[in-house]
Amino acid sequence: MDRNDMYASETEKHIDSIITIHLSNNNFLNGIAVSHEYSRRLYKIKRYSTAIKYGTLEISLYKKLDLKNDKYAKALYNLGLFYSKIGDIDSASLFYKDVVNSNKDEYSTGKAFCELGNYYYEKGDFFKAQDYYTKGISILEKFDRKKLLFKKYIDFSQVLGEMNTTNSLSKKLIILDNANELMNKVSSPFSVRDYISLNNEYANYFNSEETYNFKKARYYYYKNLRKSIEVKDSSVISRTYSNLGNLYIDSENIIKRDSALYFLGQGLKYSTNKEEKSLIYHNFSNYYVTKNQYLDALNNIQKSLVKSVNIGNEIETLPDEKVLAIAYNKYNVLSALIQKATILIKLYYQEKDLKYVELALSNLVSADTLINLLLRDSKEEGSRLYWRKEAAEIYLKGILVCEILNKKEGAFYFAEKKKALLLIEDISKNTNKSKLPGVVLERENTLKKKIVDIEKAIKEEKDNGLIKSLKNNRFKLKRQQESFEDSLEILFPSYHKEKQTTSITTISQVQDNLDKKTVIISYVSSYNKINDEFNKLYAVVISKSQTEIIEIGKLKLVEELIVNYRERLSKPFETLTDKLMFQEVANELYTLLIPKNRISIDVHQKHLMIIPDGKLQYIPFESLVIDRDTNRYLIEENEISYAYSISFLMHNNNVDRKATKDLVSFAPVNFNHNNLEEIIHSIDEIEAIGNHLLQNNYKEKDASKHNFLSNTDDYKIIHLATHANFSDKLQIAFHDSNLEYSELYTSRNQAELVVLSACNTSLGEIAEGEGVMSLARGFFYAGANTVISSLWNANDKSTAQIMESFYNNLEKGQTKSKALHNAKIKYLKSTSLSDASPHYWAGFVLIGDADTKLFSFNIFFCSILFSLFLVLIISALLFFIKKR
């Protein structure tokens, strides 16, 4: 033990004896005061572990006295700060939450909200971090603590930059301008580090893809470089050189790009810690990739990973889940793993050595593991969608390497991981929650409805003051929801354990459940702005006994054909030229998407289950032309249904639905809002349905939003003949008002089938890695097993005809998919010329379970009826003959 340790030990003994004396005399307040002061001194000399000891003692004494005042709140905040300094952010967050919940000292509460913002940022839950920083800063702005507020502005700007959306970058610039204004207002000078942090964030703002401005970014980086050299701050010098290197790498000017090597070399020269070195090596790797020097790029990205997670120096060495969980910056590690896999794939193409793709696959598996960790810690929907988007690149490259290695199970796994995973998790969670007491479910749904109502009000409100108030109320409700979820984990541990697991279906499980008449085609696509060579479309084709991976081709070509195809489907054929041009593009797209010359699996006369991806989600495969000589449509050869993923399909099929009534339908016909046109044939549509199935229908003013939300939870089939909108908002129209997409997330149904006989109900914004956020998806979340929805504006008259045939087929005992297939075929055969255009019949698609028969066709009963009918006819004839 050295002299300093001996002195510290003696001091600690002395402090302990003083505290013991105070406590023995029941003088707890003095014990609190001594513990508080000593813990603060220990914090200042960076003896954080010992500071925790005395901070914990201080809190225990407050609790012993049942004394919760402003000093207690400050003590809680300090203890959170001590834990954060030793890297235990989970423990720190618990104390910050206690500060907020106690609400005894507003200043400490504001700081605690900001620290929780930082906590959620570290966890990868950026959108929740944004909420907490917004709340914390709004409190701190009331106090004259400008230097602290400045630091929180800078911290918040980093979160907004990481979110990297148009909205968040706009907010970032406002926050930075606020920080700059504070710096100019304060008479006492800010530190050099504060000055540098502000310039750095301005530079990073202009170095973002959406707000890129080379000259402005360079201006702020150079300001920092001059200042850091002036004060001889090697850490800032290193970081600034690294940032300049990164800026120059992205320059389109080749001469400027080569200057990056100098800046990165200087950054490495001044670097003092692993984090700095990790980022510099990553930037070196980026530079060598631009020069096609892949071995140098690989060497540097491996050095970056070594510095990030301490995994050793071998290229083959990969971090496991435990190492990834404690990595200091998970985002940088994720980026490095993807970068390394990309380089290895490029090396394979260069040298044709399979060891590179084997290594690439290992790195992609590690990246997938890290994404799972980040998703587990992200609660806000925006954050979850952010990480799903980041993961999309992993899954496409996973398919690519699995195709090279002929690893069919791996290819299918990556294909499934890219689609509707969050929806599967939500459905699984809802299923597990159904086992909880009714009062608990009601409490949760009430909170959800309140949040949805406030979010709707925020979108519609124009007054900034009221918007701020509404957002504050939303934040309070979200905190209540968070506390409620935390309580469920304690009160119902079995529920918590179940909701953690979302398994991905395997090929063998799929084939065990697949009949010989069905073939699955799962498409995977991803768009990479930097590497066009990775912009490809793949298909995994599965039958009862075979699996194949096929590279379809360049994504750009397919997407151009999709745009052309949809354009020609948007209206009926008016001339022969219209028809011929459609047939040409429909056949070209078919030849690309289902290349029979490269598929050994027989798809002729099979039920094709299509799992689309990207813009393929916007088209019907039914109207693809399979033969230019005969101009036959694919629907004439194949029954077709769609699914978000096979894992989704199997999870959703396992939901226990107990609806007791057959069918409920809604036909508003006319609308007293939004100037919507009447749907004249919708009454005919639902009355025709009533000829086949027993139904409870709501027409005209009775087809209200309230009646829908209140009267649909016990029906096998829900049929909506109405208007829908997807362009600016996802809405479905009732007589009195619109139902918003978000409101579906607070409704429940047990429907085996939801028919959305309305326009564009399959359309919505594509969330990369998750799928189309459509009204159809909302109904699946609410409980549906199958949804029939539309891909464009439905024609009133043809829709009514197809729907009557569809329900007639259901009544006869046909499966959902076969019933729709035959209804379309009947329409196609009974019309000609313009009326036979795919525009009229191809728009409705069946998503989800396809093979269930909702009604059994009783042949014995029907044969008795037919026999009685014959007897009556014969009797009538005999009577007629006898009379004559």
Per-residue confidence (pLDDT) for residue 823, from 0 to 100: 96
Q: Could you report the per-residue pLDDT of 288-331, keeping only the tens digit for each?
A: 999 999 999 999 999 999 888 866 555 556 777 777 777 768 88
Say which range, 17-26, 431-440, 811-820, has the weakest mean pLDDT. Answer: 431-440
SS3 210: coil
Q: Sheet of 715-721: strands edge to edge?
A: 547-554, 536-542, 518-525, 607-611, 639-642, 844-848, 786-790, 753-757, 715-721, 661-667, 695-699
The answer to whether residue 45 scores a pLDDT higher than 80 is: yes
DSSP letter (8 states) at residue 500: T
In this structure, are strands 547-554 and 536-542 parallel, antiparallel, or unpaired? antiparallel
Q: Sheet of 738-740: strands edge to edge?
A: 724-725, 731-733, 738-740
Q: Could you report the per-residue pLDDT of 613-649, keeping only the tens digit for each?
A: 999 999 999 999 999 888 999 999 999 999 999 999 9
| Per-residue confidence band for 201, with pLDDT thresholds at 50, 70 and 90 | very high
The answer to whether residue 129 scores a pLDDT higher than 60 is: yes
Per-residue confidence (pLDDT) for residue 874, from 0 to 100: 60
Region 379-404: mean pLDDT is 92
Give the whole-angstrom CA distance, residue 589 versus residue 798: 26
Region 170-182: mean pLDDT is 96
Write down the pTM of the prediction.
Answer: 0.89
The answer to whether residue 6 scores a pLDDT higher than 60 is: no
Q: Which residue has the tokens 């298909």?
A: 539
Instruction: Give CA 605 to chain center in angstroms.
Output: 36
For the record, the structure tokens of 199 come out as: 């310039």
State the average pLDDT for the chain.
89
Beta strands in 475-629 (DSSP E): 518-525, 536-542, 547-554, 607-611, 625-627
Give the whole-angstrom CA distance, residue 738 versus residue 775: 12
Region 87-107: mean pLDDT is 95
Give the whole-angstrom CA distance, residue 51 versus residue 708: 59
Per-residue confidence (pLDDT) for residue 321, from 0 to 100: 76
Give the whole-angstrom CA distance, residue 144 versus residue 345: 55
Per-residue confidence (pLDDT) for residue 859, from 0 to 100: 42
Region 794-803: mean pLDDT is 86
| Per-residue confidence band for 406, with pLDDT thresholds at 50, 70 and 90 | very high
Give the whole-angstrom CA distance, residue 612 versus residue 643: 8
Q: Which residue type sits at 309?
A: V
Percent of the chain with pLDDT over 70: 93
Higher pLDDT, 731 or 324: 731
Q: Taking a C-beta distance cutoff of 8 angstroms, is the pair 136, 111 a contact?
A: yes
Q: How far is CA 418 from each of CA 162, 320, 791, 808, rounded to the nearest angstrom?
A: 22, 22, 22, 37
Alpha helices in 310-420 (DSSP H): 321-325, 330-351, 354-377, 381-405, 408-417
For the record, the structure tokens of 317 come out as: 């060495």
Q: How far is CA 375 from each of CA 391, 421, 533, 652, 692, rounded to the nearest angstrom?
A: 10, 11, 28, 21, 47
Tell me whether residue 160 is exposed, middle or buried, using C-beta atoms within 10 angstroms of its C-beta: 0 to 12, 13 to 18, 19 or more.
Answer: buried
User: End-to-end distance of the chain based on CA atoms, in angstroms?
Assistant: 129
SS3 401: helix
Per-residue confidence (pLDDT) for residue 388, from 0 to 100: 92
Residue 429: CB partners within 8 Å, gap ≥ 6?
499
The answer to whether residue 374 scores a pLDDT higher than 90 is: yes
Higher pLDDT, 431 or 70: 70
Higher pLDDT, 675 or 393: 393
SS3 550: strand
| Per-residue confidence band for 863, with pLDDT thresholds at 50, 70 and 90 | very low
Tell me whether residue 460 is exposed, middle or buried, using C-beta atoms within 10 angstroms of its C-beta: 0 to 12, 13 to 18, 19 or more.
Answer: exposed
Helix axes 70-85, 106-123, angle to 10 degrees: 30
Nearest to 146 by CA among 97, 192, 195, 188: 188
Q: Taking a C-beta distance cutoff of 8 angstroms, is the pair 767, 732 a contact?
A: no
In this structure, are strands 607-611 and 518-525 parallel, antiparallel, or unpaired? parallel
DSSP letter (8 states) at residue 673: S
Instruction: Give CA 79 to chain center in angstroms.
Output: 35
Per-residue confidence (pLDDT) for residue 873, from 0 to 100: 63
In this structure, are strands 625-627 and 632-633 parallel, antiparallel, or unpaired? antiparallel
Give the whole-angstrom CA distance, residue 32 versus residue 709: 56
Give the whole-angstrom CA distance, residue 705 versus residue 695: 18
Region 137-153: mean pLDDT is 95
| Per-residue confidence band for 485, with pLDDT thresholds at 50, 70 and 90 | confident
Per-residue confidence (pLDDT) for residue 860, from 0 to 100: 40
Say which range, 78-82, 413-417, 855-859, has the weakest mean pLDDT. Answer: 855-859
The answer to whether residue 797 scores a pLDDT higher than 80 is: yes
Per-residue confidence (pLDDT) for residue 314, from 0 to 100: 55
DSSP letter (8 states) at residue 793: P
